[in-house]
Amino acid sequence: MSEPEAKPAKSRRRFLGVVGASGLATAAAVFSRSSPALAANYGCCNLQYPDGPRRVSYATCKTYGERYDWLCWRDSQHKSYCQCCEGKQNHVTVVSGAACWNR
């Protein structure tokens, strides 16, 4: 009786490892930013428009009937937080606003 043919598991893993590594490198090249991460663009809000003419006060943003509001904590002790808002028209963000406080 002859032995079953050995499957090239090692070469398959090596191939998938190379493809995975190059895939990660490609994703980093495509999606990376030259500017700092947006997570800290205003407190902890990650606003779509952190500055410029589309950045409005939190109170103004709250006047938009269609909006997305959220709260985030700036520190692990929950002593500093921000209220964040994205005002929308026809489901498209047109303004961003936020206000941050310390407890």
The predicted model gives 89-103 an average pLDDT of: 93
pLDDT value at position 89? 94
> Measured between alpha carbons, how far is 66 from 59 in angstroms, rounded to an integer?
14
* DSSP label at residue 39: G
Q: What are 5's two structure tokens?
A: 């043919």
Q: Are 98 and 55 in contact (CB under 8 A)?
A: no
pLDDT band at 6 (very low <50, low <70, confident <90, very high): low
pLDDT value at position 8? 55
pLDDT value at position 31? 43
> Measured between alpha carbons, how far is 12 from 35 in angstroms, rounded to an integer?
38
pLDDT digits (tens, 9 = 90+) for 26-78: 444 444 443 334 445 888 999 999 989 999 999 999 999 999 999 999 888 88
Q: Provide the whole-model pTM.
A: 0.58
**Distances, alpha carbon 21 to alpha carbons 2, 16, 25, 93, in Å:** 38, 8, 6, 35
> Measured between alpha carbons, how far is 73 from 80 in angstroms, rounded to an integer?
6
Break the chain into its structural domains and give their ranges. Answer: 38-102
pLDDT at residue 23 is higher than 60: no
